Structure 1
Amino acid sequence: MMSDLRVGLVGIGMMGRHHARVLRSIEGLELIAVADPAGDKHGMAGQAEVVATVAEMVSIGIDMAVVATPTMYHLEAGLELASANVHTMIEKPLATNAAESKQLVDAFEDAGLVNAVGHIERCNPALVALRARLDEGELGDIYQVATRRQGPFPNRIADVGVVKDLATHDIDLTAWVLQDDYKSVSAHTAHKSGRPHEDLISVTARTLNGTVVSHLVNWLSPLKERLTVVTGEKGTFIADTLNADLTFHENGLVATEWDRIASFRGVTEGNSTRFAIPKPEPLKVQHEAFRDAVRGTRQDIVTMRQGMRTVLVADACIESAREERTVVIDQEL
């Protein structure tokens, strides 16, 4: 029987407390130490020792770590953990920009450490089921992906705008679902709430394989919405990641008798199916995958190199909006 992996958690604030809860519940993991200069304000550390710094946490003796600090501290904490030879998962986005992300990628890869980014939507049951069905060819050729991610402003965010906080979910999940990379982006942002960062963005993009992509993202809406719509040759999948539901609207095979509709040279409505899918908690699935990657028994985590690609595209979206032009993504990184 394998001994439990000793886990350290950096940051136990709004997101960190959820990591603490889940880490304490997973077989094969023992949350041994928490590093946060503000202490354990939510009382979620359990039996773990609470210290002020990463160095103190490392000195206690850990096998792996999770970084759940604000984004601006990811680079510093990550580099310290890499230099201490600790396998690490960092919350998304990986860092504040692509240059910082590359520093982290190089540090962990050079050290030969297991490294990951917490892009949790890849563990959402609706998207897991969608990805599997696309792999089986159930949609045929894929034409378009459109996402909508909007809701009220999260008070936990102060150091990045809606692009790095929310749009990175959609960028990563789209690239993953399609198994394709972004080729170019064109974006528009707005500042409506008096904060230094953008709080609204609309993105139009194209992938290397030619799929047309659009993202509508804001934290200005009283309506909370998390939708991914994938349209292709055989119909449309709609993944509602808020409720972990997946629905398929297939192209119709029955001829219509209504002349105005029949004359349209497109598709017609067919059957709609809402799939019954298992719905485990995504955060638990994510941590179990990282545990197993550290043990060397599976490799389906989101690596820091993949996380860097997402930040690179997010940087391009911000650049496009600022300069009012289409930005071609650097494929060399």
Structure 2
Amino acid sequence: MKIVQIGTGGWGKNHTRILSQLGVLSAVCDTNAERSKEYGEKYSVKHYNSLEDLIKFEEFDGAFVVTPTSTHTEIATKLLEAKKHVFVEKPMTYKSEDGQKIAELAKKNNLVLTCGYIERFNPAVDNVKKFVKEKKYGELVMLEFHRENRMPLHIKDVGIIYDTSVHDIDTANWLFDDMPQVVFARSGRINHEHEDFASIMLGYKNDKVAIISSNWITPKRVRTFTAVCTDAIITSDFISQEIKIEKKEETEIPRSDKQEPLLLEIQSFLGAIEGKNNLIVSSQQAVNVTKIAEAALLSSQKGIPIYLDLK
């Protein structure tokens, strides 16, 4: 299998490393010619600074799009038109209608199109998903997420809802196995051009709820979530991947091996290209996350709940 990567800055360097380790990286492309050359030489693969040239001269099966959000639609469209499988870093597109268009194009051309909602591949989330599915600690009633840190330097074109809160929106949908019916949010700006703190409440059927708190203000890196079930409270850390289960009389700390979520996510996409029934984020699920993020921004601006009807 041959895989190319478009965009090698910020978070993208991790994809290049893993794709090279897996022996599937065949070329890199970046509008920054210097960086493209640097990564091409580092991983002994061809390098391009034009997407058109990459598509024209390179034989490949799939592509990773790790570029600013505003460029995702155009790049993904060209790749899908060239009949290539595509992995787009989150969020899939800036506007949900653009996401819908590329999802339909992928379906029409019978191609895999997925989006990088990496926390689904985090063992911390995977284990909680298993508990919820088995109803090991009763019914899942409420989720609460905290994601805090200074703003990453490579984020230039979106605020915290599109860059950060989307991870927890997708994780909440995944753990509840449902889409929210209502969104209420408050957000604001302190240090940055776009919103840099946000609190989002997602209301699901049967009064189930997810509360998502994100900020780029506080200096300490926090990445935690709590699942409130009818028989226990499960607390988990995305970074350490540790889980703590508090029941009425006792506390359990299950042991599991730490794994790199990005490696698992990339392997899953490669498996999907090969036709394996792997877990991937479907393009429609990714479009829905963007719709929810749009609703959160609108709710915050208008100060009202936004009601949704998602597929």
TM-score normalized by the length of structure 2: 0.96
Partner of 1:56: 53
Contact 1:180–1:209 under 8 Å retained in 2: no
**How far apart are the structure 1 equivalents of 2:27 and 2:19?**
11
1:24-43 aligned at under 5 Å gives the runs 24-26=20-22, 29-39=23-33, 41=35, 43=38
Out of 219, 222, 225, the position equivalent to 1:222 is: 219
Bigger shift: 44-53 or 313-322?
44-53
**How far apart are the structure 2 equivalents of 1:61 and 1:75?**
22
Out of 11, 17, 27, the position equivalent to 2:13 is: 17
**How far apart are the structure 2 equivalents of 1:327 and 1:139?**
32
Contact 1:162–1:218 under 8 Å retained in 2: yes
Contact 2:132–2:139 under 8 Å retained in 1: no
**Count of equivalent residues:** 307
Contact 2:6–2:65 under 8 Å retained in 1: yes
Which residue identity lines up with residue 136 of structure 2 in the other structure?
E
Could you tell me which runs of 5 or more consecutive residues in structure 2 were left unpaired when the two chains were aligned.
none
Shift of 1:208: 2.7
Contact 1:146–1:229 under 8 Å retained in 2: yes
Partner of 2:103: 105
Contact 1:149–1:225 under 8 Å retained in 2: yes
Out of 42, 47, 54, the position equivalent to 2:44 is: 47
**How far apart are the structure 2 equivalents of 1:192 and 1:76?**
32
Q: CA 1:97–1:86 in structure 2 vs 1: closer, same or farther (change >3 Å)?
A: same
Out of 278, 283, 286, the position equivalent to 2:257 is: 278
Larger radius of gyration: 1
Contact 1:184–1:205 under 8 Å retained in 2: yes
Contact 2:197–2:215 under 8 Å retained in 1: yes
Post-superposition Cα deviations, 1:73-94, rounded to whole Å, max 9, x if no partner, equal 1001000001000001000000
1:1-333 aligned at under 5 Å gives the runs 5-26=1-22, 29-39=23-33, 41=35, 43-45=38-40, 46-59=43-56, 60-193=58-191, 195-250=192-247, 252=248, 270-332=249-311
**How far apart are the structure 2 equivalents of 1:242 and 1:97?**
30
**How far apart are the structure 1 equivalents of 2:53 and 2:60?**
11
**How far apart are the structure 2 equivalents of 1:175 and 1:135?**
13
**How far apart are the structure 2 equivalents of 1:55 and 1:139?**
52
What is the root-mean-square deviation in Å for CA atoms of aligned residues?
Answer: 1.3
Q: CA 1:182–1:40 in structure 2 vs 1: closer, same or farther (change >3 Å)?
A: farther
**How far apart are the structure 1 equivalents of 2:233 and 2:39?**
42
Give % identity.
Answer: 24
The runs of at least 4 aligned residues of structure 1 exceeding 3 Å deviation read 42-45
Q: CA 1:40–1:170 in structure 2 vs 1: closer, same or farther (change >3 Å)?
A: farther
Post-superposition Cα deviations, 1:137-164, rounded to whole Å, max 9, x if no partner, equal 1121222111111111111101000000
More helix by share: 2
**How far apart are the structure 1 equivalents of 2:62 and 2:302?**
41
Post-superposition Cα deviations, 1:98-157, rounded to whole Å, max 9, x if no partner, equal 112112211111111011101111111111111111111112122211111111111110
State the SS of the aligned residue for 1:156: coil
State the SS of the aligned residue for 1:182: coil
**How far apart are the structure 2 equivalents of 1:179 and 1:210?**
14
Could you tell me which runs of 5 or more consecutive residues in structure 1 were left unpaired when the two chains were aligned.
253-269
**How far apart are the structure 1 equivalents of 2:206 and 2:26?**
45
State the SS of the aligned residue for 1:188: strand
TM-score normalized by the length of structure 1: 0.89
